[in-house]
Amino acid sequence: MALSSAVQAARHSSQTLFRGYSSFRRFSVHHYRRSVAVPSATSIAESFLSRFQSLGPQTRSQFLDANQLQLLSLTLNRPSLYPDTPSLNNASASIPAGTPLPPGYHLVYFTPAFLEYELGVDGTDASYNPETPFTRRMWAGGEVRWPRAADGSPNPLRVGQEVQETTKVLSAEPKVVRKTGEEMIVVGVEKEFRNEHGVAIIDRR
């Protein structure tokens, strides 16, 4: 996942103050006063990576309920999860336990839980973001894999399962935008989703 950030300089008395939190996976710095010492992208990236490597992987659990799955499907304007399955856009619709999640639908679970003041200036969570002045997050890319179970059979996440999400920071690399000379930090994050049969999804961003 990559982060792009811009620093906004605000005058207060005779100083320029940098405010905000970084919130994507790629960020950059520009338009700052030469008199203000701005930490380099390299030093911030090294500090960020060292901090998360010392913390180690972070794991949390969640029950995969049918309600979130139904609401996501309707939000995407899909009246049913799969072709020839019952419609979900009525009050009595329900998704039975054991129903496999369609590819990508795991994103509706394990959503961040923060108070408003803990969010970045752009409204996103700052769970895995470098420090100021890299304050604007941008999605740069990712990949998702669906490993099979130990016996070789498919292992989809299913409604009714208790699933563990383990997140770890893989990398934090300073970059320079060639056209503008702007600095940014590209952060790699991996999320692993595991059910009772083993790893079901590996999501890298």
Q: Quick check: helix, strand or coil at residue 63?
A: strand
How would DSSP label each residue in 93-152? ----TTPBPPTTGGGGSS-----GGGS-TTSS--TT---TT---------EEE-PPPTTS
Long-range contacts of range 6-12, CB-CB < 8 Å, 24 or more positions apart?
Answer: 6/30, 6/31, 6/135, 6/136, 7/31, 7/32, 7/38, 7/132, 7/133, 7/134, 7/135, 8/135, 9/33, 9/36
Q: Could you give the angle at the alpha carbon of 191 between the alpha carbons of 171 and 103, nearest 5°?
A: 130
Q: Tens-digit pLDDT profile for the chain (205 aa)?
A: 544 443 333 333 333 333 333 334 554 544 444 445 667 899 999 999 999 999 999 999 999 999 999 999 999 999 999 988 889 987 677 899 999 999 999 999 999 888 998 888 778 888 888 888 887 788 888 999 999 998 999 999 999 999 999 999 999 999 998 888 889 999 999 999 999 999 999 999 9
**Residue 10: other Cβ atoms inside 10 A:** 9
pLDDT at 23: 36
Tokens of 79: 């009246």
Residue 3: the pLDDT is 45
**pLDDT of the residue at 40:** 87
Domains and CATH numbers, the chain: 41-65+95-204 (3.10.129)
> Which pLDDT score is estimated for 181?
87
Burial of 106 per CB tally in 10 Å (0-12, 13-18, 19+): buried
The β-bridge partners of 62 are: 163
**pLDDT score of 38:** 66
Question: Within its chain, how far is the Cα of 106 from the centroid?
Answer: 12
